[in-house]
Structure 1
Amino acid sequence: MHKRVRRLAMRFGDAEVAAALGDPVFIVSAPRSGSTLLFSLLGNSPDIWTIGGESHVIFQQFPKLKAADDAFSSGALGAGHADAATAAQIRRFYLASLCNVRGETTYDRITSGSPKEGVFVEKTPRNALNIPFLLGIFPTARFIFLHRDPRANIASIIEGWQTGIRTGQFVTYRDLPGRPGPWCFLLPPGWQAHAQAPLAEIAAFQWRAANEAILDTLPTGRWISLAYEDLIADPRTQLRRLCDFCVVATGPALDQVAHLPLSASTISAPSPDKWRRFEHEVLDQEAEYRPAEVRLLGLPGASRGPCPS
Protein backbone atom coordinates (compact mmCIF):
# COMPACT_ATOMS: atom_id res chain seq x y z
CA MET A 1 0.00 0.00 0.00
CA HIS A 2 2.79 2.44 0.86
CA LYS A 3 4.42 1.92 -2.54
CA ARG A 4 1.14 2.72 -4.26
CA VAL A 5 0.70 5.83 -2.12
CA ARG A 6 4.18 7.06 -3.05
CA ARG A 7 3.56 6.42 -6.75
CA LEU A 8 0.25 8.28 -6.59
CA ALA A 9 2.00 11.23 -4.92
CA MET A 10 4.62 11.31 -7.68
CA ARG A 11 2.21 10.98 -10.62
CA PHE A 12 -0.93 12.84 -9.58
CA GLY A 13 -1.67 16.12 -7.89
CA ASP A 14 -3.94 16.44 -4.89
CA ALA A 15 -6.82 17.72 -7.02
CA GLU A 16 -6.55 14.73 -9.36
CA VAL A 17 -6.63 12.27 -6.46
CA ALA A 18 -9.64 14.02 -4.92
CA ALA A 19 -11.45 14.00 -8.27
CA ALA A 20 -10.77 10.27 -8.70
CA LEU A 21 -12.37 9.57 -5.32
CA GLY A 22 -15.47 11.59 -6.20
CA ASP A 23 -18.20 12.07 -3.60
CA PRO A 24 -17.76 9.19 -1.13
CA VAL A 25 -20.53 7.76 1.01
CA PHE A 26 -19.88 7.04 4.69
CA ILE A 27 -22.06 4.70 6.75
CA VAL A 28 -22.30 6.19 10.25
CA SER A 29 -23.94 4.55 13.23
CA ALA A 30 -23.54 3.61 16.86
CA PRO A 31 -21.52 0.43 17.51
CA ARG A 32 -23.41 -2.85 17.00
CA SER A 33 -26.10 -1.20 14.84
CA GLY A 34 -25.68 -3.54 11.89
CA SER A 35 -23.16 -1.50 9.92
CA THR A 36 -20.96 -4.53 9.18
CA LEU A 37 -23.91 -6.34 7.61
CA LEU A 38 -25.01 -3.29 5.62
CA PHE A 39 -21.46 -2.59 4.42
CA SER A 40 -20.96 -6.17 3.24
CA LEU A 41 -24.30 -6.16 1.41
CA LEU A 42 -23.63 -2.89 -0.40
CA GLY A 43 -20.19 -4.15 -1.35
CA ASN A 44 -21.90 -6.70 -3.62
CA SER A 45 -22.81 -3.92 -6.05
CA PRO A 46 -20.25 -3.87 -8.88
CA ASP A 47 -20.38 -0.06 -8.80
CA ILE A 48 -19.35 0.25 -5.15
CA TRP A 49 -15.69 0.53 -4.19
CA THR A 50 -14.43 -0.18 -0.66
CA ILE A 51 -11.15 -0.88 1.09
CA GLY A 52 -12.58 -4.29 2.06
CA GLY A 53 -13.05 -3.47 5.73
CA GLU A 54 -12.83 -0.66 8.25
CA SER A 55 -10.40 2.24 8.05
CA HIS A 56 -8.33 1.47 11.13
CA VAL A 57 -5.40 0.41 8.94
CA ILE A 58 -5.42 3.87 7.32
CA PHE A 59 -5.91 5.84 10.53
CA GLN A 60 -3.02 3.90 12.08
CA GLN A 61 -0.67 5.49 9.56
CA PHE A 62 -1.27 8.79 11.37
CA PRO A 63 -0.44 8.44 15.10
CA LYS A 64 -1.89 11.89 15.85
CA LEU A 65 -5.33 10.56 14.87
CA LYS A 66 -5.44 7.93 17.61
CA ALA A 67 -7.39 10.30 19.86
CA ALA A 68 -8.62 13.88 19.91
CA ASP A 69 -5.50 14.98 21.80
CA ASP A 70 -2.60 13.69 23.87
CA ALA A 71 -4.79 13.62 26.97
CA PHE A 72 -7.19 11.15 25.31
CA SER A 73 -10.11 13.48 25.89
CA SER A 74 -12.02 11.39 23.33
CA GLY A 75 -11.69 9.53 20.06
CA ALA A 76 -13.56 12.30 18.21
CA LEU A 77 -11.72 14.04 15.38
CA GLY A 78 -12.71 17.52 14.28
CA ALA A 79 -12.11 19.64 11.21
CA GLY A 80 -8.84 20.83 12.73
CA HIS A 81 -7.38 17.34 12.47
CA ALA A 82 -7.89 17.43 8.70
CA ASP A 83 -5.08 19.83 7.86
CA ALA A 84 -4.18 20.04 4.18
CA ALA A 85 -1.20 17.68 4.33
CA THR A 86 -3.04 15.03 6.37
CA ALA A 87 -6.13 15.24 4.18
CA ALA A 88 -4.12 14.86 0.97
CA GLN A 89 -2.25 11.85 2.32
CA ILE A 90 -5.39 10.14 3.61
CA ARG A 91 -7.02 10.56 0.20
CA ARG A 92 -4.00 8.86 -1.38
CA PHE A 93 -4.23 5.95 1.06
CA TYR A 94 -7.88 5.42 0.19
CA LEU A 95 -7.29 5.66 -3.55
CA ALA A 96 -4.43 3.17 -3.26
CA SER A 97 -6.64 0.69 -1.37
CA LEU A 98 -10.06 0.68 -3.05
CA CYS A 99 -11.37 -2.32 -4.95
CA ASN A 100 -14.76 -3.62 -6.07
CA VAL A 101 -16.50 -6.97 -5.95
CA ARG A 102 -14.91 -7.94 -9.27
CA GLY A 103 -11.43 -7.53 -7.77
CA GLU A 104 -10.66 -4.42 -9.81
CA THR A 105 -8.69 -1.67 -8.06
CA THR A 106 -8.92 2.08 -8.36
CA TYR A 107 -5.14 2.22 -8.40
CA ASP A 108 -5.01 0.17 -11.60
CA ARG A 109 -7.81 2.24 -13.10
CA ILE A 110 -6.23 5.61 -12.45
CA THR A 111 -2.68 4.58 -13.39
CA SER A 112 -3.92 3.10 -16.68
CA GLY A 113 -5.96 6.19 -17.49
CA SER A 114 -9.34 4.42 -17.21
CA PRO A 115 -12.21 6.18 -15.41
CA LYS A 116 -13.30 4.94 -11.99
CA GLU A 117 -17.04 4.56 -12.31
CA GLY A 118 -19.22 4.06 -9.25
CA VAL A 119 -18.83 5.34 -5.71
CA PHE A 120 -16.47 4.85 -2.77
CA VAL A 121 -18.35 3.58 0.33
CA GLU A 122 -16.77 3.38 3.79
CA LYS A 123 -17.79 2.32 7.26
CA THR A 124 -15.89 2.54 10.52
CA PRO A 125 -17.93 2.83 13.74
CA ARG A 126 -15.59 5.44 15.17
CA ASN A 127 -16.67 7.79 12.38
CA ALA A 128 -19.93 8.47 14.21
CA LEU A 129 -17.81 10.98 16.14
CA ASN A 130 -15.74 12.13 13.15
CA ILE A 131 -18.13 13.69 10.64
CA PRO A 132 -16.49 17.18 10.81
CA PHE A 133 -13.12 15.49 10.21
CA LEU A 134 -14.45 13.49 7.27
CA LEU A 135 -15.95 16.63 5.72
CA GLY A 136 -12.56 18.31 6.06
CA ILE A 137 -11.08 15.57 3.87
CA PHE A 138 -14.07 14.98 1.59
CA PRO A 139 -16.09 18.23 1.49
CA THR A 140 -18.77 16.72 -0.78
CA ALA A 141 -19.17 13.47 1.16
CA ARG A 142 -22.59 11.93 1.67
CA PHE A 143 -23.79 9.79 4.57
CA ILE A 144 -25.99 6.81 5.33
CA PHE A 145 -27.20 7.14 8.93
CA LEU A 146 -27.97 3.65 10.21
CA HIS A 147 -29.80 3.65 13.54
CA ARG A 148 -31.26 0.94 15.72
CA ASP A 149 -33.70 0.60 18.61
CA PRO A 150 -31.75 1.51 21.76
CA ARG A 151 -32.80 -1.52 23.80
CA ALA A 152 -31.53 -4.09 21.31
CA ASN A 153 -28.54 -1.96 20.36
CA ILE A 154 -27.40 -1.31 23.93
CA ALA A 155 -27.82 -4.99 24.81
CA SER A 156 -25.62 -5.87 21.83
CA ILE A 157 -22.99 -3.34 22.96
CA ILE A 158 -22.99 -4.95 26.42
CA GLU A 159 -22.50 -8.38 24.83
CA GLY A 160 -19.69 -6.95 22.72
CA TRP A 161 -17.99 -5.52 25.79
CA GLN A 162 -18.20 -8.87 27.55
CA THR A 163 -16.66 -10.55 24.53
CA GLY A 164 -13.99 -7.88 24.26
CA ILE A 165 -12.92 -8.15 27.88
CA ARG A 166 -12.72 -11.93 27.51
CA THR A 167 -11.04 -12.19 24.08
CA GLY A 168 -9.67 -8.78 23.10
CA GLN A 169 -12.12 -8.43 20.20
CA PHE A 170 -13.65 -4.94 19.93
CA VAL A 171 -10.98 -3.45 22.23
CA THR A 172 -9.97 0.01 20.97
CA TYR A 173 -7.92 1.38 23.88
CA ARG A 174 -5.94 -0.61 26.45
CA ASP A 175 -4.39 2.00 28.73
CA LEU A 176 -6.74 4.92 29.18
CA PRO A 177 -6.01 7.18 32.16
CA GLY A 178 -8.36 6.33 35.01
CA ARG A 179 -9.82 3.29 33.27
CA PRO A 180 -9.18 -0.10 34.97
CA GLY A 181 -8.88 -2.48 32.04
CA PRO A 182 -9.50 -2.13 28.31
CA TRP A 183 -12.03 0.09 26.59
CA CYS A 184 -14.20 -1.32 23.78
CA PHE A 185 -15.76 0.46 20.82
CA LEU A 186 -15.76 4.22 20.33
CA LEU A 187 -14.54 6.77 22.87
CA PRO A 188 -16.97 9.72 23.02
CA PRO A 189 -16.27 13.03 24.76
CA GLY A 190 -17.17 12.72 28.42
CA TRP A 191 -16.11 9.10 28.68
CA GLN A 192 -14.15 9.85 31.86
CA ALA A 193 -17.39 10.14 33.85
CA HIS A 194 -18.12 6.53 32.90
CA ALA A 195 -14.59 5.12 33.15
CA GLN A 196 -15.42 2.85 36.08
CA ALA A 197 -19.15 2.48 35.48
CA PRO A 198 -21.07 -0.79 34.96
CA LEU A 199 -21.11 -2.03 31.36
CA ALA A 200 -24.79 -1.15 30.87
CA GLU A 201 -24.11 2.48 31.75
CA ILE A 202 -21.11 2.63 29.40
CA ALA A 203 -23.10 0.99 26.59
CA ALA A 204 -26.03 3.41 26.97
CA PHE A 205 -23.63 6.34 27.04
CA GLN A 206 -21.91 5.14 23.85
CA TRP A 207 -25.25 4.63 22.06
CA ARG A 208 -26.50 8.09 23.00
CA ALA A 209 -23.23 9.86 22.27
CA ALA A 210 -22.83 8.24 18.85
CA ASN A 211 -26.37 8.99 17.69
CA GLU A 212 -26.38 12.54 19.03
CA ALA A 213 -23.00 13.29 17.42
CA ILE A 214 -24.33 12.05 14.07
CA LEU A 215 -27.58 14.02 14.33
CA ASP A 216 -25.68 17.17 15.31
CA THR A 217 -23.08 17.10 12.53
CA LEU A 218 -24.64 15.56 9.38
CA PRO A 219 -24.50 18.03 6.47
CA THR A 220 -27.92 19.27 5.41
CA GLY A 221 -29.34 17.56 2.34
CA ARG A 222 -26.55 15.02 1.96
CA TRP A 223 -27.67 12.06 4.04
CA ILE A 224 -30.25 9.32 4.16
CA SER A 225 -31.70 7.59 7.21
CA LEU A 226 -32.09 3.83 7.56
CA ALA A 227 -33.51 1.88 10.51
CA TYR A 228 -31.79 -1.45 11.07
CA GLU A 229 -35.20 -2.96 11.69
CA ASP A 230 -36.34 -1.95 8.20
CA LEU A 231 -33.21 -3.45 6.65
CA ILE A 232 -33.93 -6.77 8.35
CA ALA A 233 -37.64 -6.72 7.46
CA ASP A 234 -37.26 -5.81 3.78
CA PRO A 235 -33.64 -5.88 2.65
CA ARG A 236 -34.36 -5.75 -1.07
CA THR A 237 -36.37 -2.53 -0.88
CA GLN A 238 -33.96 -0.83 1.50
CA LEU A 239 -30.86 -1.77 -0.50
CA ARG A 240 -32.44 -0.43 -3.68
CA ARG A 241 -33.25 2.81 -1.85
CA LEU A 242 -29.64 3.13 -0.68
CA CYS A 243 -28.23 2.37 -4.12
CA ASP A 244 -30.48 5.06 -5.56
CA PHE A 245 -29.04 7.46 -3.00
CA CYS A 246 -25.50 6.41 -3.92
CA VAL A 247 -26.41 6.64 -7.64
CA VAL A 248 -25.21 3.10 -8.38
CA ALA A 249 -26.77 -0.05 -9.80
CA THR A 250 -27.81 -2.71 -7.33
CA GLY A 251 -26.58 -5.58 -9.49
CA PRO A 252 -27.91 -9.17 -9.44
CA ALA A 253 -26.59 -9.97 -5.96
CA LEU A 254 -28.61 -7.17 -4.36
CA ASP A 255 -31.64 -7.39 -6.65
CA GLN A 256 -32.15 -10.99 -5.62
CA VAL A 257 -31.39 -10.75 -1.90
CA ALA A 258 -34.21 -12.17 0.18
CA HIS A 259 -32.54 -13.73 3.22
CA LEU A 260 -29.75 -11.94 4.98
CA PRO A 261 -26.54 -13.73 5.95
CA LEU A 262 -25.14 -13.47 9.44
CA SER A 263 -22.90 -10.47 9.90
CA ALA A 264 -19.18 -11.18 10.21
CA SER A 265 -19.32 -9.51 13.64
CA THR A 266 -22.21 -11.64 14.98
CA ILE A 267 -21.46 -12.89 18.50
CA SER A 268 -24.46 -15.11 19.24
CA ALA A 269 -27.46 -16.45 17.31
CA PRO A 270 -30.09 -13.84 16.33
CA SER A 271 -33.38 -13.80 18.20
CA PRO A 272 -36.13 -11.19 18.59
CA ASP A 273 -35.86 -11.46 22.37
CA LYS A 274 -32.10 -11.74 22.66
CA TRP A 275 -31.86 -8.26 24.14
CA ARG A 276 -33.93 -9.39 27.13
CA ARG A 277 -30.89 -11.21 28.43
CA PHE A 278 -29.89 -7.72 29.62
CA GLU A 279 -33.41 -6.33 29.97
CA HIS A 280 -33.15 -5.03 33.53
CA GLU A 281 -29.73 -3.46 33.00
CA VAL A 282 -30.83 -1.79 29.76
CA LEU A 283 -34.16 -0.46 31.05
CA ASP A 284 -32.40 0.99 34.08
CA GLN A 285 -30.54 3.25 31.61
CA GLU A 286 -33.67 4.72 30.01
CA ALA A 287 -32.98 8.21 31.35
CA GLU A 288 -29.65 8.10 29.49
CA TYR A 289 -30.87 6.88 26.11
CA ARG A 290 -34.45 8.22 25.93
CA PRO A 291 -33.67 11.80 24.75
CA ALA A 292 -31.70 10.51 21.75
CA GLU A 293 -34.38 7.90 21.06
CA VAL A 294 -37.01 10.66 20.84
CA ARG A 295 -34.89 12.46 18.25
CA LEU A 296 -34.48 9.28 16.21
CA LEU A 297 -38.20 8.57 16.26
CA GLY A 298 -38.72 11.79 14.34
CA LEU A 299 -36.61 10.56 11.41
CA PRO A 300 -37.94 8.90 8.26
CA GLY A 301 -37.51 5.17 8.73
CA ALA A 302 -37.37 5.40 12.52
CA SER A 303 -36.84 2.18 14.44
CA ARG A 304 -39.90 0.40 15.72
CA GLY A 305 -38.59 -1.77 18.49
CA PRO A 306 -36.13 -4.65 18.83
CA CYS A 307 -35.85 -7.26 16.11
CA PRO A 308 -33.54 -10.26 15.52
CA SER A 309 -29.87 -9.41 15.81
Structure 2
Amino acid sequence: MFPSAHFVYVKRSPGDNINSLIEGWRKPDQFAAWSYDLPETVAIDESRYTRWCFFLSDGWRKYLQSSIEEVCAFQYMAMNEAILEARKTVPTSQWTEICYEDLLQNPVEGFRQAFESAGLAFTKKLEDHCSKVLSNPYNAFSEIRLDKWRDGRNRERIESVLPKINDIAQRMGYEL
Protein backbone atom coordinates (compact mmCIF):
# COMPACT_ATOMS: atom_id res chain seq x y z
CA MET A 1 0.00 0.00 0.00
CA PHE A 2 2.81 2.42 0.94
CA PRO A 3 5.95 0.84 -0.54
CA SER A 4 8.34 3.60 0.54
CA ALA A 5 6.81 4.32 3.96
CA HIS A 6 8.86 4.13 7.13
CA PHE A 7 6.99 2.57 10.04
CA VAL A 8 7.59 3.58 13.64
CA TYR A 9 6.28 1.19 16.26
CA VAL A 10 6.02 2.79 19.69
CA LYS A 11 5.54 -0.11 22.06
CA ARG A 12 4.43 0.31 25.65
CA SER A 13 4.62 -1.80 28.79
CA PRO A 14 1.53 -3.94 29.38
CA GLY A 15 0.56 -2.55 32.79
CA ASP A 16 0.68 1.09 31.79
CA ASN A 17 -0.90 0.49 28.39
CA ILE A 18 -3.80 -1.53 29.82
CA ASN A 19 -4.26 1.12 32.50
CA SER A 20 -4.56 3.79 29.82
CA LEU A 21 -7.03 1.68 27.87
CA ILE A 22 -9.19 1.23 30.98
CA GLU A 23 -9.09 4.97 31.64
CA GLY A 24 -9.98 5.63 28.01
CA TRP A 25 -12.99 3.35 28.23
CA ARG A 26 -14.25 5.71 30.93
CA LYS A 27 -14.42 8.43 28.26
CA PRO A 28 -16.86 7.03 25.71
CA ASP A 29 -17.68 10.44 24.28
CA GLN A 30 -14.05 10.68 23.15
CA PHE A 31 -13.31 7.09 22.19
CA ALA A 32 -16.64 5.42 21.36
CA ALA A 33 -18.49 8.00 19.29
CA TRP A 34 -18.25 5.70 16.27
CA SER A 35 -19.74 2.64 18.00
CA TYR A 36 -23.42 3.53 18.28
CA ASP A 37 -24.33 1.37 15.30
CA LEU A 38 -22.59 -1.85 16.31
CA PRO A 39 -24.69 -4.92 15.52
CA GLU A 40 -24.25 -6.25 19.07
CA THR A 41 -25.13 -5.10 22.59
CA VAL A 42 -22.13 -4.04 24.63
CA ALA A 43 -22.51 -4.90 28.32
CA ILE A 44 -18.96 -4.86 29.67
CA ASP A 45 -18.44 -4.94 33.44
CA GLU A 46 -22.10 -5.78 34.05
CA SER A 47 -23.21 -3.01 31.67
CA ARG A 48 -21.07 -0.27 33.18
CA TYR A 49 -19.66 0.14 29.66
CA THR A 50 -22.25 0.07 26.89
CA ARG A 51 -20.31 1.55 23.98
CA TRP A 52 -17.23 -0.09 22.47
CA CYS A 53 -14.12 2.06 22.70
CA PHE A 54 -11.07 2.07 20.49
CA PHE A 55 -10.70 -0.59 17.80
CA LEU A 56 -12.45 -3.82 16.91
CA SER A 57 -10.28 -6.88 16.33
CA ASP A 58 -11.26 -10.35 15.25
CA GLY A 59 -12.89 -11.99 18.23
CA TRP A 60 -14.25 -8.80 19.82
CA ARG A 61 -17.73 -10.28 20.17
CA LYS A 62 -16.39 -12.78 22.74
CA TYR A 63 -15.77 -9.84 25.08
CA LEU A 64 -19.16 -8.11 24.96
CA GLN A 65 -19.99 -9.16 28.53
CA SER A 66 -16.48 -9.45 29.95
CA SER A 67 -14.74 -7.39 32.57
CA ILE A 68 -13.09 -4.18 31.41
CA GLU A 69 -9.64 -5.56 32.20
CA GLU A 70 -10.33 -8.63 30.03
CA VAL A 71 -11.40 -6.40 27.15
CA CYS A 72 -8.36 -4.15 27.48
CA ALA A 73 -5.98 -7.12 27.72
CA PHE A 74 -7.60 -8.49 24.56
CA GLN A 75 -7.13 -5.14 22.81
CA TYR A 76 -3.49 -4.93 23.93
CA MET A 77 -2.78 -8.44 22.66
CA ALA A 78 -4.68 -8.02 19.40
CA MET A 79 -3.08 -4.72 18.44
CA ASN A 80 0.46 -5.72 19.30
CA GLU A 81 0.06 -9.13 17.67
CA ALA A 82 -1.12 -7.43 14.48
CA ILE A 83 1.86 -5.06 14.56
CA LEU A 84 4.36 -7.88 15.14
CA GLU A 85 2.83 -9.82 12.24
CA ALA A 86 2.92 -6.76 9.98
CA ARG A 87 6.57 -6.22 10.87
CA LYS A 88 7.39 -9.48 9.08
CA THR A 89 6.30 -7.89 5.79
CA VAL A 90 8.23 -4.64 6.18
CA PRO A 91 11.89 -4.35 5.16
CA THR A 92 14.16 -3.82 8.17
CA SER A 93 15.34 -0.52 6.71
CA GLN A 94 11.75 0.76 6.83
CA TRP A 95 10.99 -0.24 10.42
CA THR A 96 11.83 1.52 13.69
CA GLU A 97 10.85 0.21 17.08
CA ILE A 98 11.01 2.41 20.16
CA CYS A 99 9.76 2.02 23.71
CA TYR A 100 7.33 4.53 25.13
CA GLU A 101 9.26 4.23 28.39
CA ASP A 102 12.42 5.47 26.63
CA LEU A 103 10.48 8.47 25.33
CA LEU A 104 9.47 9.32 28.89
CA GLN A 105 13.03 9.04 30.18
CA ASN A 106 14.61 11.01 27.34
CA PRO A 107 12.16 12.38 24.78
CA VAL A 108 14.79 14.26 22.77
CA GLU A 109 16.90 11.15 22.14
CA GLY A 110 13.87 8.94 21.57
CA PHE A 111 12.41 11.21 18.93
CA ARG A 112 15.84 11.85 17.41
CA GLN A 113 16.22 8.09 16.93
CA ALA A 114 12.81 7.84 15.28
CA PHE A 115 13.44 10.76 12.93
CA GLU A 116 16.95 9.72 11.96
CA SER A 117 16.01 6.09 11.37
CA ALA A 118 13.31 7.33 9.00
CA GLY A 119 15.84 9.48 7.15
CA LEU A 120 14.34 12.73 8.42
CA ALA A 121 16.22 15.71 9.78
CA PHE A 122 15.89 16.26 13.51
CA THR A 123 16.12 20.03 13.57
CA LYS A 124 16.85 22.34 16.47
CA LYS A 125 13.18 23.39 16.42
CA LEU A 126 12.11 19.74 16.80
CA GLU A 127 14.67 19.20 19.54
CA ASP A 128 13.34 22.21 21.44
CA HIS A 129 9.77 20.97 21.05
CA CYS A 130 10.68 17.45 22.23
CA SER A 131 12.50 18.82 25.26
CA LYS A 132 9.19 20.33 26.43
CA VAL A 133 6.74 17.69 25.25
CA LEU A 134 6.29 16.02 28.64
CA SER A 135 5.35 19.29 30.32
CA ASN A 136 2.73 19.99 27.65
CA PRO A 137 1.19 16.62 26.64
CA TYR A 138 -1.31 16.37 23.80
CA ASN A 139 -3.69 13.84 25.32
CA ALA A 140 -2.96 12.72 28.86
CA PHE A 141 -5.56 11.38 31.28
CA SER A 142 -3.28 11.82 34.27
CA GLU A 143 0.29 12.45 35.32
CA ILE A 144 2.83 11.04 32.87
CA ARG A 145 5.23 8.60 34.57
CA LEU A 146 6.48 5.04 34.39
CA ASP A 147 4.63 2.22 36.14
CA LYS A 148 1.85 4.47 37.40
CA TRP A 149 -0.57 1.56 37.12
CA ARG A 150 1.13 -0.06 40.13
CA ASP A 151 -0.27 2.51 42.55
CA GLY A 152 -3.44 3.38 40.67
CA ARG A 153 -7.06 2.40 40.99
CA ASN A 154 -6.79 -0.31 38.30
CA ARG A 155 -3.89 -2.25 39.82
CA GLU A 156 -5.79 -5.36 40.93
CA ARG A 157 -7.69 -5.54 37.66
CA ILE A 158 -4.47 -5.30 35.65
CA GLU A 159 -2.64 -7.83 37.81
CA SER A 160 -5.43 -10.32 37.15
CA VAL A 161 -4.86 -10.26 33.36
CA LEU A 162 -1.07 -10.01 33.17
CA PRO A 163 -0.60 -13.80 32.99
CA LYS A 164 -2.82 -13.86 29.89
CA ILE A 165 -0.63 -11.40 28.04
CA ASN A 166 2.74 -12.77 29.12
CA ASP A 167 3.52 -14.29 25.69
CA ILE A 168 2.98 -11.10 23.70
CA ALA A 169 4.74 -9.03 26.37
CA GLN A 170 7.83 -11.23 26.12
CA ARG A 171 7.80 -11.05 22.33
CA MET A 172 7.75 -7.26 22.68
CA GLY A 173 10.70 -7.37 25.07
CA TYR A 174 8.85 -6.91 28.37
CA GLU A 175 9.25 -9.17 31.39
CA LEU A 176 6.23 -9.40 33.66
Q: TM-score, normalised by structure 2?
A: 0.83
Whichever structure has more helix as a proportion of its residues is 2
Q: Is the 8 A contact 2:8 2:96 kept in 1?
A: yes
Among 121, 128, 144, which residue is 2:8 paired with? Answer: 144
What is the aligned length?
Answer: 161
Distance (Å, rounded) in 2 between the aligned partners of 1:279 and 1:243 = 35
Distance (Å, rounded) in 2 between the aligned partners of 1:204 and 1:251 = 38
Distance (Å, rounded) in 2 between the aligned partners of 1:250 and 1:304 = 32
Secondary structure, counterpart of 1:277 in structure 2: coil
Q: CA deviation at 1:182?
A: 1.2
Aligned to 1:292: 168
5 Å-filtered alignment, 1:224-243, equals 224-243=96-115
Does residue 280 (structure 1) correspond to residue 119 (structure 2)? The answer is: no
Aligned to 2:37: 175
The answer for unaligned runs of 5 or more in structure 1 is 1-135, 298-302
Q: CA deviation at 1:268?
A: 2.2
Among 37, 40, 60, which residue is 1:191 paired with? Answer: 60
Q: CA deviation at 1:239?
A: 1.4
Q: Is the 8 A contact 2:36 2:51 kept in 1?
A: yes
Question: How large is the RMSD of aligned CA atoms in angstroms?
Answer: 1.9
5 Å-filtered alignment, 1:116-265, equals 136=1, 138-164=2-28, 168-171=29-32, 172-180=34-42, 181-218=50-87, 219-221=90-92, 222-256=94-128, 257-259=130-132, 260-265=134-139
Q: CA deviation at 1:295?
A: 0.2
5 Å-filtered alignment, 1:67-146, equals 136=1, 138-146=2-10
CA 273–141 in structure 1, closer or farther in 2 if over 3 Å, else same: closer
- Structure of higher CA gyration radius: 1
The answer for unaligned runs of 5 or more in structure 2 is 43-49
Q: TM-score, normalised by structure 1?
A: 0.49
Secondary structure, counterpart of 2:72 in structure 1: helix
Q: CA deviation at 1:175?
A: 2.8
Q: After the TM superposition, which segments of 4 or more aligned residues of structure 1 sit over 6 Å from their partners? A: none
Identity %: 32
